[in-house]
Amino acid sequence: MRRFALLLLPLLAGCATGPSLQSRMAAYIGAPEEKLVQSLGVPDKQIAVNGVDYLAYVHSQAQIQPAFIGPGFGGFGGFGPWGGGGFGPWGAGYGGVYSGGLPEDVQVWSCEVTFTVKDSRVWNVTFKGNDCG
């Protein structure tokens, strides 16, 4: 049984993940502003209000999938004599077609990490977005 447990260790280690984004960014709390900028680069947004600086780093990505029309009449390619998208003589029937002009399905993931800096030290960090996990 002990040997079986030893064989499972590498498999379980493969499931382990590193620290979360929140814990990695929280490690900067108390650090000098200089270290933050050296590590993460120039912020995407920056503003100073009443002696407090806010430095924001933004990450976003989008995935675009073409719209798809399911069953319908006509289309490109097919079995009918007119090249319709279906089975009948006029190409009517099931013939999925990629639309050229219909809107596409766009999925956007983003995360904005904002550091509060006071007296040249990081005081706080906040997260905004759907991809901050």
- CATH number of the structural domain spanning residue 47: 3.30.1450.10
Residues 54 and 118 in one domain: yes
Residue 13 lies in a domain: no
Is 1 inside any structural domain?
no
Q: Are residues 117 and 132 in the same domain?
A: yes
Both 26 and 91 in one domain: the answer is no
DSSP string of the chain, one letter each residue: -HHHHHHHHHHHHHH-----HHHHHHTTTTSBHHHHHHHH-S-SEEEEETTEEEEEEEEEEEEEE--EE-SEE--SS-SSTT--SSSSTT-EE---EE-SSSPPEEEEEEEEEEEEEETTEEEEEEEEES---
Let me know whether 73 and 99 are in one domain. Answer: yes
Q: What is the pLDDT of residue 63?
A: 87
Q: What is the pLDDT of residue 30?
A: 98
Instruction: Write out residues in the chain with pLDDT < 70, as ranges.
Output: 1-16, 67-103
In a domain, 12, yes or no: no
- Whether 93 is in a domain gets the answer yes
Total number of domains constituting the chain? 2
Global model pTM greater than 0.75: no
Assess if residue 7 is contained within a domain.
Answer: no
**52 and 74 co-located in one domain:** no
The pLDDT tens digits of the residues spanning 25-41 come to 999 999 999 999 999 99
Q: Tell me the residue range of the domain where 42 lies.
A: 18-58+110-133
